[in-house]
Amino acid sequence: MNDKPSPKTGLARIWAALFYSLHGLRFSIYHVVAFQQEVCLFVVLLIVLYFLPISIVFKCILLFANTTVLIAELLNSAIESIVDMTSPDYHVLAKQAKDLGSAAVLISLLLAIVLWGSAIYFMLNRGSG
């Protein structure tokens, strides 16, 4: 039932890894509510980013910050899944692991907020001074 598949090598391993990653993304999009919300925000901000009158470098920095939020959420969801599997009952270390993953998401969100705030500030104030 839970037999581990035989390891692949070479191009077959790379090809399989691609599909494992896509499966993880698909799972997150359909089953992880926080990731769904962050993807929606990511898409909206991507559209806004396209039209913002700021340098391409600043656009890349904002895109990086937005992507970091998604990456942190995927890692947090992975932590939560493994903790739930190994520790179905309440345990202080399980809570700590989940809280640390959540903290990583929070820090990535704060980074994105600060960078977006900076971009808007500089955009609005570039004519003054």
Nearest-CA neighbor of 117 among 128, 127, 106, 125?
125
> Of residues 65, 73, 108, 109, which has the active-site annotation?
73
Q: State how far the Cα of 121 lies from the Cα of 129, in Å rounded to an integer.
A: 13
Residues whose CB is less than 8 angstroms from the CB of residue 69 and which lie 6 or more positions away in sequence, other chains included: 38, 42, 105, 108, 109, 112
Packing angle between helix 56-86 and helix 33-51, nearest 10 degrees?
180
Active site residue 73: yes
Task: Report whether 97 contacts 104 (CB < 8 A).
Answer: no
Task: Report whether 83 contacts 98 (CB < 8 A).
Answer: yes
Point out the residues that are catalytic: 73
